[in-house]
Amino acid sequence: MPNGSLDSHLFKEQSLLTWETRYKIAQGLASGLFYLHKEGEQCVLHRGIKSSNVMLDSNFIPKLGDFGLARLVDHGKQSQTTILAGTMGYMAPDYLNTGKVYKESDVYSFGVVALEIACGRKPIDPKYGSSQINMVQWVWELYGEDRVIEAADPKLCGDFVEKQMECLVIVGLWCAHPEIPFPILPSKMPVATYFTPPRSLSMFS
């Protein structure tokens, strides 16, 4: 993986990823996650999806790395209860509350990474003011004010396709929504509840 990890480009300024490359990375990551969850003999729960585990080949095609926390589950089986493991900011609220891991826990983490790709910032970052320290909450507030494009990474200097940016941000918020089915996205971030059926992974184009 000669281009290293996604986070090294988003946060460590190894290089500035163009919008076209970012969008393709997001699509490739979604495709890979769909394969893990749906297309193998068993469902693979990765449990460690984050930008530092997204590796980029010479053409910036993404590959998921670090399967150290992964679990195999038969398709159609119920969730597993596990020892909490993962990185704060990427772990779904229901997983933190119950210790039960679903495919949807990975979907939540994917949503956070999608927002990182769009916004160019980490999910929890103390360098931002108290109103912006939590990326998901901040982006949701912008969405509720019909200002979602303002979440775009300023390093892109406006050089992106607005419809694609809006699509990626809304997909990220959908995945970070704590309830299912995929809803009409509310203008304010809802309080998480833990007794509803799990979400399912949605693809975007």
Long-range contacts (CB closer than 8 Å, 24 or more residues apart) made by 184-192: 185/143, 186/144, 187/143, 187/144, 187/145, 188/140, 188/141, 188/144, 189/136, 189/137, 189/140, 189/141, 189/144, 192/93, 192/94, 192/97
Residue 136: pLDDT above 70?
yes
Identify the residue whose tokens are 């209860």: 81
Cis peptide before 197 (omega within 30 of 0): no
pTM: predicted TM-score of the whole model, two decimal places: 0.84
CATH numbers and ranges of domains, the chain = 6-175 (1.10.510.10)
Residue 36: pLDDT over 80 = yes
Residue 96, SS3 per DSSP: helix
Q: Which of 88-97, 101-110, 157-166, 186-195 has the highest mean pLDDT?
A: 157-166
* φ/ψ bin of 76: left (φ > 0), alpha (ψ from -120 to 50), beta (otherwise): left
Residues 155-161, mean pLDDT to the nearest whole number: 96
Residue 18, SS3 per DSSP:
coil
How does the average pLDDT of the chain come out, rounded?
Answer: 87
- Using CA atoms in the order 32, 34, 35, 41, what is the torsion angle rounded to 10 degrees? 150
Once rounded to an integer, what is the mean pLDDT over residues 147-163? 96
Per-residue model confidence as pLDDT tens digits over 160-180: 999 999 999 999 999 988 665
pLDDT band at 33 (very low <50, low <70, confident <90, very high): very high
DSSP 157: T
Say yes or no to pLDDT of 204 above 60.
Answer: no
